[in-house]
Structure 1
Amino acid sequence: MTTDSLRTARSTPPPATRTRSPLPTALLLAAVGFVTLLTEVLPAGVLPAMAADLGVSESIAGQSVAVFALGCIVAAIPLSRALAKLDRRTVVLLALIVSALANAGTAVAPELLTHLATRFVAGLVAGVVWAMLPGYTRGFTTPERFGSTLGVVLSGATLGFALGVPAGAVLGEEFGWRAVFGIVAATTALLGVLAVVVAPRVAGSARGRSTRMGAALRIPAVVTILVALAVCIIGQNIAYTYLAPVLSSRGTPVPLGVLLATFGVASVVGTLGAGRLANLRLGMTILTAALLGTVGLAVVAWDPPVVVLLTAAAGWGLAFGAYSVLFQVAIARVAGNAADAAQSALVTVWNCSIATGGAVGGIILGTWGPALLLPAAAALTVVAIPLCAVIARAIRRG
């Protein structure tokens, strides 16, 4: 037996790994996703205090989120390839260690440049985490359980997105923004300890076709999924990022917090539900989510009565929560041996789309005012419907 085969044998999980319940590992990875997403959005909840402490304007301090996203975009493909041979538990442990150190650095950073440097490092870690989670999940569960297990894993990120800003605001007022980042650092370190106990070893992939981006991008269905994802997430972030000025300009009687809470709770339900439905009718579920998200966003844009508005926001949230699971399961299914590279591309497209949505929304708001924001977002998501129909057909054909 060669040295490489011995290494593979040691890093490949025993058959029992796939027969035991995947739930403990899935919940651990959900917690990893939660703290990773919480780390990304936390500055928005403590922005005024953070800006004052660092001695900069709020617009400058807000670049803390942009720098994190930049790190995530930069890391997803090259670092995922560099770490491809390591077993997945080792990658999780490394990510948690570096993330804990980065958050601790953010908590004590004396000025803006140091603060931004620690945020960039945290973003690098996030890029690796998002690219790795679907492949790791495939390794410790059976194909029949993959969709539902991935739904549990990704629900942590959805919960972090829904709760990150309000949680940061509440904790920041109580303890100060630096203490909040310290709490996140300590929580991340604790998850590292739990990972040693709970997380199974799952072999990485040898460098080859599975880690070459060109192999993934030559598959038409992969490209279609990436384009559909970009359209959905750009439209989503044009609307979500600028809901506050839209509601303010309308004089909507529903408080922003109530609307966001409705959206957030529905997103978590959508993530968990999509995981189960992905195992049954993946193509039809993707198409249904695109339709539901577009209709929900269009109704919110129409400024309907309160009950209809909250119902539409819930439908929009259900679709958004489902996207993270459905597109990742779909791309893993159609990419074959290029699945790891395709997942890295998906993470990059997702984060670029978040940044693009915020930028485009800002241009629309500054040029034409808030009235055009939601109609423009809804019109963009309409494009996703025929693309998702093509994806559904590709999945049916296998």
Structure 2
Amino acid sequence: MTRTSEPESRTERLPLLSLLALATAVFVTSLTETLPAGLLPSISQSLSVSESAAGQTITIYAIGTALTTIPLTVITAGWRRKRLLLLSIIGFLVANSVTAVSSNYELTMVARFVAGMAAGVAWALLAGYARRLVPEHLQGRAIAVAMAGIPVALAAGVPLGTFIGKEFGWRVAFWAMTVIAVILVAWIAAFVPDFPGQGRGNRASFNRTITTPGVGAVLFVTLTFVLAHTIFYAYIASFLDSVGAGDQVDVALLVFGLACLISIWVVGAKIDRTLRLLAITATVLFAIAVTALGLAGDTPIVLYSALFLWGLAWGGAPTLLQTAVGVAGGSVADEAQAMLVTLWNVAMAVGGVIGGLLLSGVGPNSFAWAALVILAPTLLVIVLAKRHGFAAAPKLDDAGNKDDAGNKLDADEIHAR
């Protein structure tokens, strides 16, 4: 039998040069989204709008992702993967450049919407790209390397970008993102292998995707887990201020970010064999953390211990959820990833609204109990999804297809044979 659909890049070693390029793409995506949060006063002054209006540059990014991910995934299903990845990074390059030069609020919002569209394409693509670079038994680890860009952006990128913005101006921070995007385009073009799209004849409908066993469970957990996180994290500064730690926001976020880095390392090392256990552990740790914050967040040792546990729960979550939906989705993994990205951004937008209502109506201590209520059904679904979605070990596809080494084939390999 001849293998024609995959480059000869599948080895027993992780292709780090390619995976680190994907991790940098994840970093660019995450940092482009969150960078304005640390620069709102400067942005609002420069654009002659309120800080609240400047904050909508983050909201419009999420809306751009949520509204366009699924349609763009359908439209580009047959495109070569490398071409699509490069176009998404070029989208960031253009959007961040326009943001850096714009003195008009409306133009800036359009640029941020375009950046959100690019993010939707990238997020729907990157996890699947990482999986296709390696054999099945290394797929979880490959996704973990690619997703490492998220905690790096949280722990280092946002603080560094904020520092650059304060010292040299917020526009310089966005120009720095453009420079990174230029370098990344060259990196991907030179060193990341290409893969075929699904082809129009094999393009599965999203109705089929949502009814694939396990996909619905993973999507539900994605929605609720991210919702619980966003309700609290979006207003973490307000919570810290309420417990007498308002002057320690940078330290608190550093503790959280370092725990995220540890989490992504642990998840990357263990996910291929213990995805189910890791998902349950992350949810339980998150529940313990928010409970501790709600009961005794004004005690420093409890505060920082809880933030550390929360970081351990959150850092590996993107890897866990994208691996789970990829395994459950099988031949419709790209569509499943697109749904996950959409729900992720919906949860962020809704979480921001709910958190704001709780803050103004009840107070910041309510964040913990709202998150805990949401995490209860999250844990229940993970526990019940023991056959599909959060199985003890990766499952075969419905046809039981394996390659000569015993690894599951993706749709392109099966079609090629």
TM-score by length of 2: 0.89
CA RMSD of aligned residues (A): 2.0
Residues 74 and 211 (structure 1 numbering): CA distance in 2 closer, same or farther, change over 3 Å? farther
Alpha-carbon distance, 1:253 to partner: 8.2
Give the corresponding residue for 1:4.
none
Equivalent position to 2:365, from 371, 387, 394 = 371
Query: 1:187 is matched by which residue type in structure 2?
Result: I
Task: Name the CA distance, whole Å, in 2 between partners of 1:108 and 1:253.
Answer: 33
Q: How has the CA–CA distance of structure 1 residues 69 and 13 changed in structure 2, closer, same or farther, with 3 Å as cutoff?
A: same
Structure 1 position 208, deviation (Å):
4.9
Q: In the alignment, is the contact (CA less than 8 A) between 1:151 and 1:273 conserved in 2?
A: no
Paired residue total:
390
Alignment of 1:43-82 (within 5 A): 43-82=36-75
Q: Deviations over 1:279-329 (max 9, x none)?
A: 111112211111111112211222253223222211111111121111111
Letter in 1 for 2:198: S
- Confirm whether residue 131 of structure 1 aligns to residue 136 of structure 2: no
Contact residue 14 and residue 142 of structure 2 kept, 8 A: no
* 2:156 matched residue in structure 1: 163
Distance 2:161 2:72 in 1: 29
* Aligned 8 A contact 2:256 2:308 in 1: yes
User: Tell me, what secondary structure is at the counterpart of 2:172?
Assistant: helix
Identify the structure with the greater helix proportion: 1
Matched position secondary structure for 2:187: helix
Q: Distance in 2 between matches of 1:75 and 1:253?
A: 37
Cα deviation for residue 231 of structure 1 reads 1.1
**2:331: which partner in 1?**
337
Q: CA deviation at 1:218?
A: 1.0
Q: What residue number does 2:186 align with?
A: 193
Secondary structure of 1:392's counterpart equals coil
Q: Within the alignment, does 1:390 sit opposite 2:371 as a pair?
A: no
Match of 1:114 among 107, 115, 119: 107
Deviates more, 1:219-228 or 1:138-147: 219-228
Report the Cα distance in structure 1 between the residues aligned to 2:184 and 2:332, rounded to whole angstroms.
Answer: 30
Deviation of the 1:156 alpha carbon: 0.3
Partner SS, residue 337 of structure 1 = helix
Q: 2:235 aligns with which of 242, 246, 256?
A: 242
Match of 1:281, SS state, is: helix
Within 2, Cα distance between the matches of 1:219 and 1:237? 28
Q: Which residue of 2 aligns with 1:285?
A: 278
CA distance in 2, matches of 1:135, 1:23: 16
Q: CA 1:113/1:379 → structure 2, altered by over 3 Å: closer, same or farther? A: same
Q: Does 1:318 align with 2:317?
A: no
> What residue is the counterpart of 2:218 in the other structure?
225
> Percent identity of the aligned residues?
33
Measured in 2, the distance between the counterparts of 1:368 and 1:170 equals 33
Cα gap change, 1:306/1:89 in structure 2, threshold over 3 Å: closer, same or farther? same
What CA deviation, in whole Å up to 9, does each residue of 1:322-359 have, x standing for no partner?
21111111111112222111110000011110111111
* Partners of 2:77 and 2:203 within 8 A in 1: no
Unaligned runs of 5+ in 1: 1-7
| C-alpha distance 163-21 of structure 1, shift in aligned 2 (>3 A) | closer
1:43 touches 1:168 (CA, 8 Å); kept in 2?
Answer: no
Residue aligned with 1:280, SS: helix
Distance in structure 1 (CA, Å) of the matches to 2:9 and 2:18: 14
Query: 1:210: how far off?
Result: 4.8
Question: SS at the partner of 1:196?
Answer: helix
* TM-score (structure 1 length as normaliser): 0.93
Q: Report the equivalent of 2:321.
A: 327
